[in-house]
């Protein structure tokens, strides 16, 4: 860790034995906004050169380096007459509505940018990162990666424009060299698979954020599955049950799958061949998996890629598979979990039924203004759902979903024909009343929720209707990873 002083402030820069002057300046750029070519870092014997290895400078622990340089002049806002929302373009609406910052593409890094924007939608993860401290002199690239993610999320919250994730990308490639693979033809860095990066990030976060109790990944993003194996050719053979932790559900896709629930069921119920001790030979076993613990945040991946040996590529299945904005996974749960969730599910249904009635009656009152509609609205306002008691096991299980009902809050999509080419984007639901007003006015479509569309550093807003179009079936963006959040009573 090296201290650098610039304009009266000190900045801490993480270094290791291989950090060069170029890497050092890239980190300072992300901290100060001063571009590397505008930086002059004073060291013994002159200025820091790009190819100088920091560890060869013999810096002392208390030594402070001085940086000279200025941030480039910010563009001045153009003088324009006042515009109303209905007269604005999509981009102008985005600017007026306090659109969050995107991430700059640093060369085939859209897979990373899209995944990080979805993970940022989990406040419990942000809180765990804020509480994390790697400690001075940390050389573990995984811990440095998590520290840089903490800083990157803070930058995104504070910035009004695209943020370059230089430092995070540097530590990612150190922690997992796979993401540093280069294309032999172009010489640049290769496109990577967004789902593989998603899985890698959850694994590293789980390892690094581990404390005495369960990590944020274990509590909020991991479920538990019970799989029963039964031999179809030997009914007298005792079934075996295996328990395992899962972080995602897979949606298997073939010609018969048209909906998300069908694809998930295909992965949870299958017939496999394995050795039967009672028969003394291989036999067919029916494998049925059911969920016995649901996490608050459920990741669902669409298995859209398969290895095409003739072309040596991960080819894409473009078939349309519809997914819901609200997703009830009760059919995939164990009977024991269903019974525990029953009171909470009933209470949630009562609340949602009441909200639907109130919206219908309010619209009727607005449209007709009749006495009958007014009386119905008064009756709806006077009604209330019955109190309920959450099952003790679910009450004690921090980070679980007590209802089995989810709402979609994030999607990573892919456009292109192979996993390692094309382009990835993120679509993240805007919470009402947070991050600026919801779009409204003449010509603005009605929608239950607005969504941020993150195309790297280009961020715009779309409706629920646009999200439902991401189901596939053509060459438009197709849902690849979906993030659902528990609906609570």
Residues designated as active site:
110, 423
Q: CA-CA distance, 321 to 443, in Å (whole number)?
A: 31
**Helices 371-382 and 335-368, interaxial angle, to 10°?**
150
Cβ distance 189 to 183 under 8 Å? Answer: yes
CB atoms within 10 A of CB 80: 7
Tokens found for residue 292: 């016995």
Give the per-residue SS3 of the chain: CEEEEECCEEEEECCCCCCEHHHHHHHHHHHHCCCHHHCEEEECCEECCCCCEHHHHCCCCCCEEEEECCCCCCCCCCCCCCCCHHHCCHHHHHHHCCCCCCECCCCCCHHHHHHHHHHCCCHHHHHHHHCCCCCCCCCCHHHHHHHHHHHHHHHHHHCCCCECCHHHHHHHHHHCHHHHCECCCCCCECCCCHHHHHHHHHHHHHHHCCCCCCCHHHHHCCEEEEEEEEECCCCCCCCEEEEEEECEEEECCCCCCCEHHHHHHHHHEEEEEEEECCCCEEEEEEEEEEEEECECEEEEEECCEEEECCCCEEEECCCCCECCCEEECHHHECHHHHHHHHHHHHHHHHHHHHHHHHHHHHHHHHHHCCHHHHHHHHHHHHCCCCCCCCCHHHHHCCCECCCCEEEEEEEEEEECCECCCCEEEEEEECCCCCCCCCCCCCCCCCCCCEEEEEECCEEEEEEHHHHHHHHCCCCCCEEEEEEEEECCC
Instruction: Please report where in the chains the tokens 């890497």 appear, as a residue.
Output: 23
| Exposure b/e, 234-264, CB count within 10 A at least 16 = b | eeebeeeeeeeebbbbbbbbeeebeebbbbb
């Amino acid at each position: 860790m090296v201290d650098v002083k610039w304009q009266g402030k000190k900045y801490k820069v993480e270094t290791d034995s291989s950090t060069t002057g170029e890497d050092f300046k890239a980190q300072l750029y992300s901290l100060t906004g001063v571009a590397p070519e505008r930086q002059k870092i004073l060291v013994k014997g002159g200025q820091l050169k790009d190819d100088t290895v920091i560890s060869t400078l013999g810096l002392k622990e208390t030594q402070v380096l001085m940086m000279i340089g200025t941030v480039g002049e910010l563009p001045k806002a153009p003088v324009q007459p006042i515009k109303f929302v209905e007269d604005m373009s999509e981009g102008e609406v985005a600017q007026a509505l306090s659109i969050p910052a995107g991430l700059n593409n640093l060369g085939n890094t859209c897979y990373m940018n899209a995944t990080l924007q979805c993970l940022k939608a989990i406040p419990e993860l942000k809180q765990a990162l804020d509480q994390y401290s790697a400690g001075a002199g940390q050389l573990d690239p995984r811990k440095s990666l998590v520290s840089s993610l903490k800083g990157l999320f803070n930058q995104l919250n504070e910035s009004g424009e695209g943020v370059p994730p230089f430092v995070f990308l540097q530590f990612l490639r150190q922690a997992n060299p796979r993401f540093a693979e280069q294309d032999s033809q172009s010489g640049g860095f290769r496109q990577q698979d967004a789902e593989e990066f998603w899985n890698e990030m959850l694994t590293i976060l789980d390892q690094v954020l581990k404390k005495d109790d369960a990590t944020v990944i274990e509590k909020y993003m991991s479920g538990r599955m019970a799989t029963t194996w039964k031999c179809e050719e030997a009914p007298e053979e005792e079934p075996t049950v295996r328990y395992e932790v899962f972080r995602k559900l897979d949606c298997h896709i073939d010609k018969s799958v048209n909906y998300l629930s069908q694809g998930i069921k295909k992965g949870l119920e299958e017939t496999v061949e394995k050795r039967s001790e009672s028969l003394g030979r291989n036999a067919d076993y029916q494998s049925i998996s059911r969920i016995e613990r649901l996490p608050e945040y459920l990741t669902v991946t669409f298995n859209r890629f398969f290895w095409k040996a003739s072309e040596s590529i991960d080819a894409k299945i473009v078939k349309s598979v519809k997914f819901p904005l609200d997703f009830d996974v009760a059919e995939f749960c164990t009977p024991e979990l269903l019974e525990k969730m029953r009171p909470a599910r009933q209470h949630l249904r009562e609340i949602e039924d009441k909200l639907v009635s109130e919206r219908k009656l309010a619209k009727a009152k607005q449209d007709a203004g009749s006495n009958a509609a007014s009386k119905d609205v008064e009756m709806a306002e006077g009604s209330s759902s019955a109190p309920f008691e959450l099952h003790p096991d679910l009450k004690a299980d921090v980070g679980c979903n007590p209802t089995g009902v989810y709402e979609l809050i994030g999607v990573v999509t892919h456009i292109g024909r192979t996993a390692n080419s094309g382009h990835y984007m993120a679509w993240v639901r805007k919470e009402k009343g947070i991050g600026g007003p919801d779009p409204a006015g003449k010509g603005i479509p009605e929608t239950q929720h607005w969504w941020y569309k993150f195309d790297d550093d280009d961020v715009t807003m779309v409706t629920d209707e646009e999200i439902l179009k991401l189901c596939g079936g053509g060459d438009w963006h197709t849902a690849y990873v979906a993030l659902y959040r528990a609906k609570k009573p």
